[in-house]
A and B are shown apart, each in its own frame.
Chain A
Amino acid sequence: MVAIQSPDAATGNATDAARQLRNRRIATHLGIFLAIVLSWEIASRAGWLDPLFYPRPSAILQSFWLIYVVNGNVWYHLGVTMSLVFAGFVGGSVLGIVLGSLVGLNGTLRRFLKPYVIVLEATPRIAVAPLLIAALGFGVTSKIAIIMLVCFFAPFINTLSGVMNVNQDKLELFRAMGASKWQILRKLVLPDAIPVIMAGERLALTAALSGALVAEFIQRDQGIGSLILVYTRNLNMASAFACIFTLTLLGFLIFRGMEVLDRTIAYWKHEEGRTRVSARRRKAMEGQS
């Protein structure tokens, strides 16, 4: 992202200039976007782009109105997909974190599991989808299993490396002060690993959405993936694109949501989180004294 840092505590003139520059840039961004959309629309109306395959922006807008307000059918499918994503994500990432810390803390286990992990990493996990569907049947179970499988790996690998890369000096300090194994895990290893684990969770959540879509493409019963497939099959491309842009928005929200979560959980990684927490502590201490 291109961020423009406004000069701190500068003169009013400087901030004014910075604001003006930013407004001008936003205007240019919007101008370019509108130019692209308009030329698309014009090309389509002039017959250079086949509207059957490349829907007009105005048609996509119309479809948004249609599927969200007039028919309102998209809500149901969106709800189905999102609950699947949530269930699979929670299951897969809890499994990944637990197994990752177990394997990370146990050297023997790690040595014996390593070759299997390498083989599994090279396999495209989504490819197991048809197998799981055949084994578990059509329906919710196999879909959740696919999502769990797809989002297991990133948290697993990241927890593993986070747990293994403990600062040795700190570890020695903990040992010298007679900390128990559980204390070392809870107060040193896990807090140190949390930023890396959160990075894994972020990857897992995007993977979960993709996993849900693939499961729905194969099963073709309900959910936003099936909806896109059906609209495309009927060559109702405008509605298919309305669904895809919905997913873009959703992806953006997920991205932002994970960032906020990261700031709250791993607050010491970010300046403002650190100052916020230390201010709160200081206030509590002052109250006590």
Chain B
Amino acid sequence: MTNATLANDARILDRIIRFVPHVVLLGLLIGAWELGARTGLITSIMIPRPSAIGGAIVKLYVTEGTIWRHFFVTLTEAVVGFAIGASVAIGLAVASSLSEVFKRYVIPYAIVLNVTPGIALTPVVIAWFGYGMGSKMALAAILCFFPIFVNTLTGLVQVDEDREDLFTSLGASRAQIFAKLRVPSALPLMFAGLKIGLTTALIGAVVAEFAQATDGVGVLMSRFSFQLDMASSIATLLSMTVIGLMLFYTMEFLDDRIVFWRRESRRAAASRAAARTWSGQAGK
């Protein structure tokens, strides 16, 4: 066995050992909870037993499978709303970065939109776009607009001046400066905004479902809560966590791939690939 694999094995073992206390703690917590509920120390109507929640999860996801339709409805609402809100936000941010005048006259309205709690628009949006998925997408789009707009605009405007001088002295055109300097330096901030926007879009979809809807995990959740079926309600809440994690990690993955130069390892991989291409060309 070589040294490298030995070190590798040790690292994996180390990780497993570090993982054990977490699992033990979680097990103990759940055990104590279950015991407390069974002995009557915790009122099990309000705070359901872990086993009841487990049963509800199995019922909702596997045996009856009722949650899947609602799951995909909410996911679609959040993603489509996010796509609409993000496109408008990025479009306006790009336009504002290109034209000083446009920026001056758009920003006050963006600020007004930001200080208004977007959630207050829920009833109005439902009256405008109906009880279906349209109103949820609209609210998701409204809620995710501002963080994306502000971050993209800040990224596009805050460019290192030395670099800009270098670009202009080398005779770069406006289009070249935009595409090769402004956009790349704006990407990290833009992705930070997109990540925030994605979570707020999910909140928008769920809140609009609370207010008025027929499908979606938000509706399911308030229905279960008001039937005092707390176990199913918590199981539904977990589905929102899953949607949130899915969306967040998708964005994280895209961030990692597109803004590769921020990560050491990805930067090294990219430069290796570039070196290979160049040496191949030189050999010809």
Contacts and interface: CB of A to CB of B under 8 A. Distances in A.
B190 interface: no
- Chain A, interface size category, equals 35 or more
B107 interface: yes
Given A122-B241, A131-B225, A131-B234, A251 B115 contact: yes
A75 interface: no
Contact of A217 (B21, B118, B211, B230): B211
A217 B118 CA distance: 13
A170 B113 CA distance: 42
A115 B104 contact: no
B46 interface: yes
A208 to B, nearest CB: 10
Nearest to A2: B104
B241 to A, nearest CB: 4
Interface residues of B, number: 48
A124 B202 contact: yes
Nearest to B211: A217
Contacts of B222: 130, 218
B117 interface: yes
Nearest to B43: A135
A233 interface: yes
Given A214-B119, A214-B207, A251-B115, A112 B237 contact: no
B205 to A, nearest CB: 9
Given A25-B104, A29-B108, A244-B124, A115 B22 contact: yes
A255 B146 CA distance: 15
B107 A1 contact: yes
Contact of A213 (B105, B119, B240, B244): B119
Interface string A1-42: 110000000000000000000000100110010000000000
B261 interface: no
Interface string B96-125: 000000011101100110111111111110
Interface of A: 1-2, 25, 28-29, 32, 53, 112, 115, 119, 122-124, 126-131, 133-135, 206, 209-210, 213-214, 217-218, 224-225, 228-229, 231-233, 235, 237, 240-241, 243-245, 247-248, 251-252, 254-255
28 contacts: A2-B107, A28-B105, A112-B21, A122-B245, A123-B240, A127-B218, A130-B226, A131-B221, A131-B233, A131-B234, A134-B226, A134-B228, A206-B117, A213-B119, A213-B120, A213-B122, A214-B119, A214-B207, A214-B210, A217-B207, A217-B210, A229-B211, A232-B124, A232-B127, A240-B123, A241-B124, A244-B124, A252-B115
